[in-house]
Structure 1
């Protein structure tokens, strides 16, 4: 099968897609696409990124290209790799075809930790946050247990139903059940500290930060969209904990 011709538009859209799907700020995505286009001879590139799509045009009055973004995650390693590649392109160190090949490899390469390792990390993070927010050492192990159970439930339901907010609601519910059970059985000194520590792995810290940075950079559409998405996540987490308190008052 004959390989399709590599164009500047394809490289810019692929670079933007990788960054946006990995959780990059929209102004950073647009800046990277513009720099790559100028490095390959485009004088007036027009890039526009939103939370769910990319637009790119090589000139003011030429054709506009659109790419839909359906799934997003947090992968700072991919963002850094695209940034490094764009620096090499701007320095005129990589030809068009080689740059596109590297981007394709980067897009298909999805290095991730195993679910068991993620659960272990969430467990330790939960216990440490419980201590950091004012808990005591008796709260450490219950927070670790509740955090690991909640994160595992969220990850499993996210794969089954593919509705992130519902998966986070279910994960928070399991955290509330686990924390309340430990507290009622005499493990832990403060139920509030256990829950606060355990929900931290689910809190959308990076999306909130990106929303603020996009708003400060003047990208109002993306900033508001990310802010609303973060707010919905926070509501899902709070609703999951509140449901447990409603059914099992402690």
Structure 2
């Protein structure tokens, strides 16, 4: 029977934890993260009985090698939505059996250091996304203003800072802008359509999807955690909109 040396055991534990942490930080769901971590662990001969306890903010993983049980734990503090990174990690997991541990660490370094799309591209994409919803919901004449407001919302949302506060600021911005354009600049807009067209930029679609998937899979703690996060984001959207309407009334 093959046994891992102590330094190999520590190296493997580090790789497994990095893989799971990157997945959760990129917005991955609990089930696929657990399966990925176990698969990476079992890719090395001499390991057995991997056990994984995950929540969206906590990771505990253990496995057995020889007569030793190795346990690691860490906290997840920063979460985003990065589907490209999730796809790259799953590709890494699918090919990890053909790699040695140095190659696995190098692959994870490459994934972790890969930069996301430049901020200006994400801002521009926000404008086009809002314009697309505007074309679907309302009059094409409103599209230029919806696009510009979408750019402003994208600029707010791509700033570094507390996610909830950024969403409050963005929802305030997309609500107050069309009202001010109509009342101060006398530009005829469909205010409801303009506001609604920009709201999908803030809707927590991936969070809701993961909440449903985790709940259906029996991971109720993770499901409740994701559901609470989605409700908090929804409350932030409502708060920003309410503040804009209240400020204009006053």
Q: Are the counterparts in 2 of residues 15 and 33 from structure 1 also a CA contact under 8 Å?
A: yes
Residue 101 of structure 1 is aligned with which of 79, 82, 106? 106
Among 11, 15, 40, which residue is 1:11 paired with? 15
CA distance in 2 between counterparts of 1:152 and 1:88 reads 38
2:85 counterpart of 1:78: yes
2:125 equivalent to 1:126: no
Unaligned runs of 5+ in 1: none
Structure 2 residue 236 is the aligned partner of structure 1 residue 231: no
| Local SS of the residue matching 1:65 | strand
Alpha-carbon deviations, 1:123-147, whole Å to 9, x = none?
1111111222x21112212211222
1:136-215 superposed matches below 5 A: 136-156=139-159, 159=160, 162-184=161-183, 185-215=185-215
User: Contact between 1:50 and 1:221, CA under 8 Å: does it hold in 2?
Assistant: yes
| Residue in 1 that maps onto 2:120 | 116
- Once the two structures are TM-superposed, the CA of residue 186 in structure 1 deviates from its matched residue by 4.2
8 A contact 1:210–1:223 mirrored in 2: yes
Do the aligned partners of 1:138 and 1:187 also contact (CA within 8 Å) in 2? no
Residue 221 of structure 1, CA deviation:
1.1
Q: Quote the Cα distance in structure 2 between the aligned partners of 1:32 and 1:187.
A: 53
* TM-score (structure 2 length as normaliser): 0.89
1:25 corresponds to: 29
> In 2, Cα distance between the equivalents of 1:147 and 1:244?
16
| Residues paired across the two proteins, number | 239
SS of the residue corresponding to residue 78 of structure 2 reads: coil
Q: How many angstroms apart in 2 are the aligned matches of 1:241 and 1:59?
A: 53
Tell me by how many angstroms 1:163 deviates. Answer: 1.7
**TM-score if structure 1 supplies the norm length?**
0.89
| Aligned-pair CA distance for 1:62 | 2.2
Give the structure with the higher percent strand: 2
